[in-house]
């Protein structure tokens, strides 16, 4: 069974004093990589969260966003952070003094609103003893992600198998065309020799030996056999459910392309 590396999951949970939102998405990636954006109060659980994702996702670039905010039922969601405000205001005064400005400068509201962390939640929102709820929600979001990966993976598997069928049919055509090509090639070489050197008396055995060497260089039986072997192995890999199936298939596809290129460089038949 195929699993894509792209997927998405989202879980929202509203409790008595906070609102929990978990977003998780994944993209193609050669290795496993998590980029977390987690509320500060949840950072203590970060390693455990990443371990849970790695256990289920194995590969891909995963973006995780967990926000924890107060319920909108509260009237006073935020308060002024006096420490940050006073620090910012004192820096303005220092800058004014350093520039030797006599006129007293007062920052506008627009300037103050741009100051980072000048406001903070009225009450710090923490998960508290509800860490089980947090991990249950994360687990649900991951399961949604995996379900998405599975659906897309099934479409990829279907597409690959259809392409394999086309390649199999083309290989049969190449085998049929190459069989007739050998006879035509032999006839063509003999005609060229007679045309260039009509009076030359050549030993028949020697002639066929040289022609055999030429035809051997153009023979594609070995490449066809390897192609059939690679495609058979590819089907076996697709039927498996190993976690590293993508790496195996990627290697096989490279080998298939290599054999196809070799066939193309050896034959002169345009139809092939």
pLDDT of residue 4: 86
Kindly state the average pLDDT of the residues 10-38. Answer: 88
C-alpha closest to that of 125 among 66, 84, 85: 66
Model confidence at 35, in pLDDT bands (50, 70, 90)?
A: very high
State percent of the chain over pLDDT 90. Answer: 26
Cα-Cα-Cα-Cα dihedral of 101, 103, 105, 106, to 10°? Answer: 160
End-to-end Cα distance, the chain: 34
- Distance between CA 7 and CA 150 in Å, rounded? 9
Which residues are CB-contacts of 111 (< 8 A; sequence separation ≥ 6)? none
pLDDT of residue 95: 74
The two most distant CA atoms of the chain are separated, in Å, by: 114
Model confidence at 137, in pLDDT bands (50, 70, 90)?
A: very high
More confident site: 86 or 242: 86
Model confidence at 16, in pLDDT bands (50, 70, 90)?
A: confident
Kindly state the average pLDDT of the residues 3-19. Answer: 86
pLDDT of residue 203: 65
C-alpha closest to that of 265 among 127, 257, 210, 6: 257
- Helix ranges (H only) for the chain are 46-57, 82-98, 109-113, 131-196, 204-217, 221-239, 245-266
Model confidence at 39, in pLDDT bands (50, 70, 90)?
A: confident
Q: For residues 156 and 4, is the Cβ–Cβ distance under 8 A? A: yes
- pLDDT tens figures, 43-79: 888 899 999 999 888 888 999 999 887 765 555 556 7
Q: Answer whether residue 125 shows pLDDT above 60.
A: no
DSSP state of 59: S
Q: For residues 142 and 9, is the Cβ–Cβ distance under 8 A? A: yes
- Distance between CA 268 and CA 178 in Å, rounded? 10
pLDDT of residue 226: 92
What's the mean pLDDT when you consider all of the chain?
Answer: 80
pLDDT of residue 29: 85
**What Cα–Cα distance (Å) separates residue 97 from each residue in 88, 91, 93, 94, 102?**
15, 10, 6, 5, 8
Residue with tokens 């699993």: 3
- Distance between CA 168 and CA 188 in Å, rounded? 30
Kindly state the average pLDDT of the residues 189-200. Answer: 68
- Distance between CA 124 and CA 79 in Å, rounded? 11
DSSP state of 45: G
Model confidence at 128, in pLDDT bands (50, 70, 90)?
A: low
Q: Answer whether residue 216 shows pLDDT above 80.
A: no
C-alpha closest to that of 1 among 147, 162, 159, 154: 154
pLDDT of residue 7: 93
The structure tokens listed for 55 are 């256990």
């Amino acid at each position: 069974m195929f699993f894509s590396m792209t997927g998405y999951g989202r879980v929202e949970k509203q409790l008595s004093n906070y609102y929990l939102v978990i977003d998780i998405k994944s993209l193609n990636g050669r290795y496993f990589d998590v980029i977390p954006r987690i509320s500060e109060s949840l950072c203590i659980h970060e390693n455990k969260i990443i371990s849970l994702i790695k256990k289920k996702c194995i590969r891909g670039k995963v973006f995780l966003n967990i926000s924890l905010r107060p319920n909108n039922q509260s009237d006073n969601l935020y308060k002024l952070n006096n420490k940050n405000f006073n620090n910012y205001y004192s820096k303005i005064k220092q800058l004014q003094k350093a520039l030797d400005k006599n006129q007293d400068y007062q920052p506008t509201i627009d300037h103050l609103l741009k100051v980072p962390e000048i406001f903070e939640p009225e009450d710090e929102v923490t998960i508290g003893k509800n860490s089980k709820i947090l991990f249950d929600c994360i687990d649900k979001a991951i399961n949604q992600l995996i379900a998405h990966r599975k659906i897309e993976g099934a479409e990829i598997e279907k597409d690959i198998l259809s392409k394999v069928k086309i390649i199999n049919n083309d290989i049969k055509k190449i085998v049929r065309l190459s069989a007739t090509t050998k006879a035509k090639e032999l006839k063509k070489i003999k005609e060229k020799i007679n045309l260039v050197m009509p009076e030359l008396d050549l030993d028949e055995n020697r002639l066929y030996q040289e022609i055999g060497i030429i035809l051997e260089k153009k023979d594609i039986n070995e490449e066809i056999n390897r192609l059939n072997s690679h495609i058979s192995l590819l089907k076996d890999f697709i039927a498996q459910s190993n976690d590293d199936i993508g790496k195996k298939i990627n290697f096989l596809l490279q080998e298939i392309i290599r054999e196809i290129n070799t066939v193309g460089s050896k034959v002169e038949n345009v139809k092939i």
